Structure 1
Amino acid sequence: MTLSRSLEQLFKRKSVKYGIPFLLLVVGGSFGLKHFASLRFEYRKVTLITPEIAKELGIELKKPGTLESEYEKIKDMDIDNWKQVRGPRPWEQNEQS
Structure 2
Amino acid sequence: MFTLKSLQRNKTVKYGVPMLLLIVAGSFGLREFTQIRYDVQKVKRKLDPSLEARVDLKKQSVMLEEEYQKLKEVNLDEWRNIRGPRPWEDSKEYQDEQRRSLDKKD
Normalising by structure 2, report the TM-score: 0.48
Offset of 1:21 from its aligned partner? 0.7
Structure 2 distance, partners of 1:24, 1:86, is: 61
Greater relative CO (CA pairs within 8 A, separation 6+): 2
Percent of aligned positions that are identical:
35
1:42 aligns with 2:39: yes
What are structure 1's unaligned runs of at least 5 residues? 64-68, 74-84
Asked whether the equivalents of residues 84 and 91 of structure 2 are also in contact (C-alpha less than 8 Å), the reply is no
Runs of 4+ in 1 over 3 A off after TM superposition: 58-61, 85-89
Counting matched residue pairs gives: 72
What are structure 2's unaligned runs of at least 5 residues? 69-81, 93-106
Q: CA RMSD in A?
A: 3.4
SS of the aligned residue for 2:88 comes to helix
Q: 1:96 aligns with which of 91, 97, 104?
A: 91
- Greater helix content: 2
Q: Between Structure 1 and Structure 2, whose CA radius of gyration is higher?
A: 2
Aligned to 1:78: none
